[in-house]
């Protein structure tokens, strides 16, 4: 309707472009659906490629022995580094989350929350550079421990924010009931609030582990070790890792190396996808239970 000729008394008639509007709407719907399908397709293509090319490399020898045939030491290295990282990041992350929920609204907790978000956005290579000046340069030794610390810094905001979200879901009636019984704060946190939120806390930790296990940039700077032949349990030496192995093999133009890299990718990707799928299922369940 043009402004000049608008007449409120005129009978209501279709402006004639309804068909066009419907078509536009339909096109938009198809476009949105197509975009979603495309994203899932990319996931499918990447997973399928890794699966089909990696399956050729997988064997017991590949998983459990060292250099010429397998990547066993790298699997062990990644396991150790991630374990230490999580052992450091999880307590700190959960305590931070408790602080954020129990004293939410204060200025300090607002600062902490936005700091965590900034940390989450920190490029992982920056974290690597940081620990290089802090640990590697003064001691002149590359170490898995430095890598673990870097991964801990990457995990920390994920665990803290994830746990905080779950802690906020804990029904207030539980807190109030505990207060009404005269239970002190620390007892009710330890015996009521944390157990209720445990499922969610574990979930966010697993998701953080899944994210950290695939990080390459900090490991490239801090613990770049070839796969080697021996299984090394000493975290204070340079440890091999799966992501770093994939990275080095991918930079060499060697078809045999590529096959090994696909195999390593398959190991890493399946571990990560299983972990995050499982964690998500767990989260959905514990959320549903808490909402009841």
Among positions 184-203, residues that touch another protein (CB under 8 A) are: 184-187, 189-190
- The correct pick among 52, 115, 139, 254 for binding another protein (CB under 8 A) is 115
Residue 287, interface with another protein (CB under 8 A)? Answer: no
The CB-of-174 to another protein minimum distance in angstroms stands at: 17
For residue 58, give the nearest of 270, 257, 262 by alpha carbon.
Answer: 262
**Which is closer to another protein, CB of 47 or CB of 233?**
47
For residue 87, give the nearest of 205, 2, 1 by alpha carbon.
Answer: 205
**Which is closer to another protein, CB of 179 or CB of 233?**
179
The CB-of-127 to another protein minimum distance in angstroms stands at: 7
The interface region with another protein, picked from 2-10, 66-74, 226-234, 260-268 by CB under 8 A, is 260-268
The CB-of-229 to another protein minimum distance in angstroms stands at: 22
Residue 162, interface with another protein (CB under 8 A)? Answer: no
The CB-of-54 to another protein minimum distance in angstroms stands at: 10
DSSP string, 32-80: HHHHHHHHHHHHHHHHHHHHHHHHTT-SHHHHH--TTT--HHHHHHHHH
Residue 278, interface with another protein (CB under 8 A)? Answer: no
> How far is Cα 220 from Cα 245, in angstroms, rounded to an integer?
10
> How far is Cα 102 from Cα 163, in angstroms, rounded to an integer?
12
Chain center to CA of 259: 26
Residues within window 68-107 making contact with another protein, judged by CB under 8 A: 91-93, 95-96, 98-100, 102
- The correct pick among 60, 63, 83, 118 for binding another protein (CB under 8 A) is 118
- The correct pick among 65, 67, 79, 125 for binding another protein (CB under 8 A) is 125
Residue with tokens 């230490």: 84
The interface region with another protein, picked from 60-68, 129-137, 168-176, 230-238 by CB under 8 A, is 129-137
Contacts of 215 (CB under 8 A, 6+ apart): 124, 150, 151, 154, 243
> How far is Cα 163 from Cα 204, in angstroms, rounded to an integer?
6
> How far is Cα 212 from Cα 158, in angstroms, rounded to an integer?
10
Instruction: State the number of binding residues for another protein (CB under 8 A).
Output: 89
> How far is Cα 200 from Cα 194, in angstroms, rounded to an integer?
10
The CB-of-264 to another protein minimum distance in angstroms stands at: 9
Residue 231, interface with another protein (CB under 8 A)? Answer: no
> How far is Cα 209 from Cα 15, in angstroms, rounded to an integer?
58
CB 227 within 8 A of CB 19: no
> How far is Cα 232 from Cα 225, in angstroms, rounded to an integer?
11
- The correct pick among 129, 169, 174, 192 for binding another protein (CB under 8 A) is 129
Residues within window 20-49 making contact with another protein, judged by CB under 8 A: 21-22, 24-25, 27-29, 31-36, 38-40, 42-43, 45-46, 49
């Amino acid at each position: 309707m043009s402004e000049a000729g608008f007449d409120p008394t005129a009978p209501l008639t279709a402006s004639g472009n309804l068909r066009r509007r419907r078509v536009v709407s339909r096109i938009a719907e198809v476009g949105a659906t197509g975009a979603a399908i495309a994203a899932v397709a990319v996931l499918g293509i990447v997973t399928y490629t890794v699966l089909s090319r990696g399956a050729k490399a997988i064997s017991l020898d590949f998983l459990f022995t060292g250099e010429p045939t397998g990547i066993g030491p790298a699997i062990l290295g990644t396991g150790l580094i991630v374990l230490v990282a999580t052992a450091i990041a999880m307590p700190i992350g959960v305590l931070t989350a408790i602080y954020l929920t129990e004293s939410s609204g204060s200025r300090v907790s607002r600062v902490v929350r936005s700091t965590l978000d900034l940390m989450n956005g920190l490029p992982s290579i920056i974290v690597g550079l940081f620990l290089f000046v802090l640990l590697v340069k003064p001691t002149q030794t590359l170490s898995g421990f430095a890598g673990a610390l870097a991964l801990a810094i990457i995990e920390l905001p994920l665990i803290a924010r994830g746990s905080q979200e779950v802690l906020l879901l804990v029904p207030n009636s539980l807190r109030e009931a505990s207060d009404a019984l005269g239970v002190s704060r620390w007892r009710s946190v330890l015996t009521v609030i944390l157990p209720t939120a445990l499922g969610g806390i574990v979930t966010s930790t697993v998701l953080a582990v899944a994210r950290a296990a695939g990080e390459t940039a900090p490991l490239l700077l801090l613990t770049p070790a070839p796969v080697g032949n021996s299984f090394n349990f000493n975290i204070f030496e340079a440890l091999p890792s799966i992501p770093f192995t994939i990275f080095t093999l991918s930079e060499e133009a060697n078809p045999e190396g590529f096959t090994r890299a696909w195999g390593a990718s398959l190991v890493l990707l399946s571990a990560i996808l299983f972990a995050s799928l499982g964690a998500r299922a767990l989260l959905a369940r514990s959320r549903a239970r808490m909402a009841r």
